[in-house]
Amino acid sequence: MAFTLTRVFGLGLVCLSLLLVSGCAEGPAPGEALVRGVITFQGKPLEGGVGSMNFVSEQAVDVARVEEGGIYSVTLPPGEYQISIRYKDGVDIRDEQGKMVRATDLIPKQFGDIKTSKLTLVAAEGVNEVNFDLP
């Protein structure tokens, strides 16, 4: 009896694992856009900092983290988006006296503001590869 239960339990774990792995391999859900790509500055991938991207449209606002190498990925409703990108050498902190110490921008500040970045993208349903090369 114990052998049968162990075998059934083990088989159940294998089936559950296969189900989870196969679910991870699929693209975005129907009606969604997976947008991913690489951000470069002066032809080189972003390195040595922390960053974020803001996506703003009439129907949605979202934020994505910019990983080492300038890699980003976000799931959005399909549509046209204005983009802002911030990339700094660290995060803002308070020193021992309570004074704010700001991290240094690694890309021009104009890209960090929706009004001045002039970056846009159109996210179609499904997977979208969109790279940004900042001058």
| CA dihedral (65, 60, 118, 80) positive or negative | positive
Residue 93 has a pLDDT of 86
Superfamily of structural domain 28-134: Immunoglobulins (2.60.40.10)
Residues 76-115 pLDDT 10s: 999 999 999 999 998 888 889 999 888 899 999 999 999 9
Q: Where are the domains of the chain?
A: 28-134
User: Is this model's pTM higher than 0.75 or not?
Assistant: no
Residue 63 has a pLDDT of 94
DSSP state of 43: T
- β-strands 71-76, 100-101 pairing: unpaired
Q: How far apart are CA 101 and CA 82, in angstroms?
A: 29
At 34, phi and psi to the nearest 5?
-95, 115
Q: How would you classify residue 9: left for phi > 0, otherwise alpha for psi between -120 and 50, otherwise beta?
A: alpha
